Chains A and B, each alone.
Chain A
Amino acid sequence: MLLSWLFPRGKACAWCGRPVHQGFFCTSCRQQLQAWQQHYHPCLYCGRLLPLGKQAVCSQCREELPPFYKARAVGPYQGLLKEMIWALKYQGRRSLANPLGRLLAGVVVRELGPGRPDLVIPVPLTSTRLRVRTFNQAELLALALGQELGLPVNGEVMFRVRETAPQVNLSRRSRWQNLGGAFQVTAPGKITGRRLLLVDDVLTTGATASACTNALLAAGAAGVAVITLATGIENLPCFSP
């Protein structure tokens, strides 16, 4: 007791437990999370990662632009970030939600431009899946992000109307079909004419984000930007769990 008072322990990395001087993650973890920036840049629209020096827009967006005006992510769905998302989502390591939400806040400030969103909305889970998992990881991330940026968060504006098969290993087209009409806005009055920030853990083909955006725009939202922890890399298959 006396020793811990005399020599208080410093902050520990939220992931590996090593000492931290600033922020939530240690230098080593931070470096691993940022390493992709030396090789990739985000697609102008959907935020999927493209090799540096190549085109500014991914092949998917050249074919058809997504309904949201911009999507950005903390990094690619691989390595340490993938492990962290796995631990949060499937192991239930909720203590990661706050540090990861702060990382999202940093990306919002850097990447989404000066237009401040009016409301943060997490991608909802069905009630059955929510009871099984006991929490919605997107909502935890949205709450941490909202707290960091002083933005209001509302997880009850939209709900998932029906169960959809888990998206693991589904192709892009199958995901679109799987999610058609899956989301419904319950309180259109709260979003009419407002700029929204949609939060999710992983953006893969963009099917979930697009389905949510379509529902929000149909209900009167002025515009939707998307922020996720991870995204795919062009030409690399990335199947979120």
Chain B
Amino acid sequence: MTVAGSYAPVFCWQGFVYLVWGDRSGRVGISHNPGLDRTFWLQRGYRQFSLLTPPLPLGTAAFLCDWLQRRLPLKGEPPLQQAAALVNRGRLKLGLPPWGAPANTLPEPRPAPAAAELALVQKNLAGRILWREEIALALAEHKGAVNTPLEDLLHWLYLAGEVTLLPGVGYDSNGEPRCRRCGQASRLLKVACAACGSGDCLVCEGCLAMGQARSCRPLYARPCQAQAARGRPTLDTRPRLNFALTPAQVDAYREAESFVFQGKEKECLLWAACGAGKTEVACGAIAAALSRGRNVLYACPRREVIRELEVRLTSAWPHLRILALYGGSPSKFGAADLILATTHQALRFYRRFDLVILDEVDAFPLSEDPMLYYAVARARREDGQTLFLTATPPPGLVARLRRRQVKVIYLPARHHGHPLPVPEILRDPFLSRPGAKRLPRSLVNCLDLTLAEEVQLIIFVPAVKLVEEVVAWLLQERPGPDPNRPWVQGCFAAHPRRDEIIAAFRREEFPVLVTTTVMERGITIPRLNVLVLYADEERVFTANTLIQMAGRAGRSPAYPSGRVWFLASRISPAMAGARRQIQEFNDLARRRGYLLVREK
């Protein structure tokens, strides 16, 4: 994100479309500095050089270049008139106003950049897709300095076919605009741009958080070398886990290893029960890939998960260089053997990774943002593999799994060997709303059971406004001994005291927390029961959401038999589905002999 008060110049690519001709054939090209292109082509025997347009934003120039290449006969004599007519047709195709005639004077050839500087830039761009300013930062981070303007070095590499030059927002062959950074076409605006002076510059609002992508801003991309060319490492890649894996984890670990070693399938889903230790199993796949010298990315939508993983994986591989990338991370371009990144940060990688591990594949914001899937898919090499990790795969992934397009590894049991708590469905056809005279009998029972066992309870509700209402309702019916220290508190995503309340709940300062689905992930309380109130609100409580919420209970060996209640006026398909899936996981765990304790 651009920082207030920072006015560093952003490189604006404005350049020419040109025709260059040799003895028998020609080429169409684009350049912000045609003198450089003249040098490049003169070295290759192309002597006749003609500019076809005045300076244009990169998006327009790149479209016209492609348009001409597909339509212009590039053999025999240079078809200058035909080229001028085609440029005009291309302009009309984009709906742009007429522009002036191209300059008659040709730019003088410029000296070719130094090979050492080219190699340095090439090395720093490998496996990435970056703005010019980001490449400058990468060079600075690696203490590399170049004397030639960076855009000239990059352009030379582009001419040599080493680097791909893309407009931030470009056009496809039909003239339809698309953001080349995030891949989306839905949030593009045509605006007047003071940088390029065009009144038709396209800007993408879909990925603004990562900096402005626009037609006149170039993206430079370079895929990573193939794994064979990189060679095998000499590092010991076995993870050092400071605990023994359970039988369920050992089986899944081996399957994950063989998924990578065999390399037959492109995609695999590790379908794990909540709290079953899927990260430890993913270590099997990571170790297998690293042992073969493959590049690995561990991506997750949430920054907190990446930061926590950095600590865990650093202790598992103390001798590896692990780089964690998230908004505000200290290093963005450091060298690493293993990269952990939020899915937003994956937007900066290009055909780099042989194995991408995508954690919490169904979690917000990944679940609602096609841009992030696009980012992760582009970060993987074309022949690379993806391992999805989740307890609740999205329906699309489950459908592909059923069609056998995706391999699946099950991890159905938790490390303590107790079955997953199966939700108890409490149906109350006359379930009252907050504010009614009396608390529902079933709700009172759940509260009493919880308080009698001296464990904690999370009550999930389907709407933010219900949080305050339910808290007030409970306190009105049961005020508690000390009004200054309420026994029940509420929080939601935008709650001003959210972190404070969660911390107090973790410290067991009060027994009951009312919250929304914001707490369905990432919280582990040792002795906890879960109650989902109005669980039949299907717009909010999908089967996956219910499974995640149920997964908060029974995680710790201190209280593995935590209870889960779904309280509703009817049994929704989502409630039944969630219960069925949890039972199926318990059945599978029992059949495979992973359970140490008989299911109740």
Residues of A participating in the B interface, judged by any CB pair closer than 8 Å? 86-87, 90-95, 128-136, 166, 168, 241
Contact = CB atoms under 8 A, between A and B. Distances in A.
A93 B191 CA distance: 11
B205 A132 contact: no
Given A94-B191, A94-B203, A134 B212 contact: yes
B4 A132 contact: no
Contacts of B212: 91-92, 134
B254 to A, nearest CB: 44
Given A92-B212, A94-B203, A132-B9, 11 more contacts: A87-B208, A91-B2, A91-B212, A94-B189, A131-B9, A133-B194, A134-B193, A134-B201, A135-B191, A135-B193, A166-B7
A134 B9 CA distance: 10
Nearest to B8: A132
Contacts of A132: 7-10, 195
A134 B195 contact: yes
Contact of B208 (A92, A131, A134): A92
Given A131-B194, A135-B193, A90 B1 contact: yes
Chain B: number of interface residues, binned into ranges: 20 to 34
Interface of B: 1-5, 7-10, 12, 187, 189, 191-195, 201, 203, 205, 208-209, 212, 214
B10 A90 contact: no
A91 B1 contact: yes
Contacts of B209: 91
A76 B189 CA distance: 29
Contacts of A92: 2, 203, 208, 212
28 contacts: A86-B4, A87-B208, A90-B1, A90-B2, A91-B1, A91-B2, A91-B208, A91-B212, A92-B2, A93-B205, A93-B208, A94-B189, A94-B205, A95-B189, A131-B9, A131-B194, A132-B7, A132-B9, A132-B10, A133-B194, A134-B193, A134-B195, A134-B201, A134-B212, A135-B192, A166-B5, A166-B7, A168-B4
A170 B2 CA distance: 20
Contacts of A131: 9, 12, 194-195
A133 B195 CA distance: 8
Contacts of A133: 194
Instruction: Specify which of B1, B2, B201, B214 lies most central, judged by the most chain A CB atoms within 10 Å of its CB.
Output: B2
A204 B212 CA distance: 27
A136 B191 CA distance: 12
A27 to B, nearest CB: 13
Given A131-B9, A131-B12, A132-B10, A90 B4 contact: yes
Contacts, number: 55
Contacts of A94: 189, 191, 203, 205
Contacts of A90: 1-4
Contact of B214 (A134, A136, A241): A134
Instruction: Specify which of B1, B12, B201, B208 lies most central, judged by the most chain A CB atoms within 10 Å of its CB.
Output: B208
A128 B7 contact: yes
Nearest to A135: B194
A155 B412 CA distance: 65
Contacts of B203: 92, 94
A191 to B, nearest CB: 23
Nearest to A96: B205
Nearest to A97: B191
Contacts of B201: 134
B4 A241 contact: yes
A207 to B, nearest CB: 16
A87 B205 CA distance: 11
Contacts of B187: 95
A91 B212 CA distance: 7
Contacts of B205: 93-95
B420 to A, nearest CB: 35
A83 B225 CA distance: 42
B167 to A, nearest CB: 15
Contacts of B3: 90
Nearest to A128: B7
Nearest to B214: A134
A136 B5 CA distance: 15
B463 to A, nearest CB: 12
Contacts of B208: 87, 91-93
Instruction: Specify which of A91, A130, A166 lies most central, judged by the most chain B CB atoms within 10 Å of its CB.
Output: A91
A163 to B, nearest CB: 9
A241 B212 CA distance: 19
Instruction: Specify which of B12, B193, B212 lies most central, judged by the most chain A CB atoms within 10 Å of its CB.
Output: B212
Closest CB pairs A-B (n = 4): A241-B4, A166-B5, A130-B194, A134-B195
